[in-house]
Amino acid sequence: MLLCVTASHKTASFELLERLSRNPENVAPALLDAGAQGAVVLATCNRFEAYVEVEDVTSDAVIDAVAHAAGIPSDDLDGSYRVVDDPHVAEHLFAVASGLESVVSGEGEIAGQVRRALSGAREQGTTSPTLERLFQRASQAQRKVKNVTALHRAGRSLVRLSLELADSRIADWSAERVLLVGTGSYAAVTLAALRERGAVDIAVYSASGRAVPFAQKHGIRPVAAADFASVAQHASLLITCTSVEMVLGPAQLERQPGTTAGCLSTTAGAHPHSQLIIDLGMPRNVDPAVAQLEGVALLDLDTIRLHAPLEELQATDAARDVVREAAESFHLDGSKQSVTPAVVALRTHIFGLLESEIERARRRGDENGRVEQAMRHLAGVLLHTPTTRAHALAAEGRADEFHAALETLYGLSADASGAASATA
């Protein structure tokens, strides 16, 4: 059985994710020590996941092993993770590898991180045949998503589209006082797009306290928590792209409700004294009430997506379909593998009887081999239907029925096939 313990930007603070990802190389061996048959750990700045193959190990034991290996009290993890159980693990990993669960939808870096997670498990000797197949299929699913959908363009397109829509209000980007709220992948993409348009006066704020390292890395100004409201009020352009819900509302802008500015009209002329707010957050970072403040225009994802090309608008749905089909294929192949030992036991038994009868025919004078040829053909015909039915039953989750029939009719068990195939 497969389990995945996952903590990400959707469930945990960045501080906790950093603690979990500090020594990821310790986690997989600890999971094997706890009784797992295999473990692969995926650790990034926005995600920590342990994929585990288990038999008698509970999810609580897996979580305790993760916490102990990471040096974190188990209580600190409460409410910051979720457990994905066996029927859904493949679809979850395939979605992660394809960028569907990333901060920036469709970002490509995660695919390499998934491949490196498997390589690390191989080096540590913690992977298993099932996990090998799972992660290899994840890479195949990611490549198919990239090749047949527009997902890899969709996330960055939101940034591009939002700034294109903002062009109708901004005459000189170099004169804008920009406040960027967030320090994740979207923030980096947004910053690059702002600079391409000529923006130079850019500050960054992070509710998670990561503004300083982000600002130092990118050569912009960090904003302290105590100064956030003041800087927000005086910024002419605010762009929010953080995983923290509702970081900006009327209170931070220190305004009183007045004339309705409403959502951004893409046909409006320039308004040099107005304030434009672009909310790229998922979930929503900006209280929609700010659009009711005088002089404030709000451009949110709903508005941006109205202007998105149809191909990119549908990219996520198309990618989800690819991932779902890949997961179904993974489970179908796994089901077929589960019945393979029983099929091998039956075929070994039948071929053993066949060889005995062929030898008897030879002793009786079958010099031209016609009897042998006929008997081999008959054996193939007789085995075709039960082999096909075995795979069909396995695909329906009824492999145990084939096992029971095999034991009832022939006195054979799947366990016997291992010895049979080993000596064949």
Cα separation, 274 vs 42, in Å, equals 45
Half-sphere exposure of residue 394, counting CA atoms within 13 Å on the CB side?
22
pLDDT at 74 over 80: yes
Give the pair of three-digit tokens for residue 286: 């900006």
Query: Of 11-15, 224-228, 229-233, 237-241, which gets the smallest average pLDDT?
Result: 11-15
| β-pairing verdict for 275-279 and 221-222 | unpaired
Average pLDDT of the chain, as a whole number: 83
* DSSP calls for 12-80: S-HHHHHHHTSSGGGHHHHHHHTT-SEEEEEEETTEEEEEEE-SS--HHHHHHHHHHHHT--HHHHTTS
Q: Which amino acid is at 197?
A: R
Selecting among 4, 45, 241, 263, the annotated active-site residue is 45
pLDDT by residue (tens digit) across 75-95?
889 889 999 998 899 999 999
CB 205 within 8 A of CB 211: yes
Cα separation, 187 vs 166, in Å, equals 17
Mean pLDDT of 363-379: 84
| 133: number of Cβ within 10 Å | 15
- The 3-state secondary structure of 75-106, one letter per residue: HHHCCCCEEECHHHHHHHHHHHHCCCCCCCCC
pLDDT band at 53 (very low <50, low <70, confident <90, very high): very high
Q: Is the dihedral of CA 316, 318, 321, 323 positive or negative?
A: negative
pLDDT at 260 over 70: no
CB 23 within 8 A of CB 70: yes
Q: Is the dihedral of CA 189, 190, 193, 194 positive or negative?
A: negative
Mean pLDDT of 361-377: 84
Share of the chain above pLDDT 70, in %: 85
pTM (2 decimals)? 0.58
Catalytic (active site) residue 263: no
CB 204 within 8 A of CB 221: yes
pLDDT at 47 over 80: yes
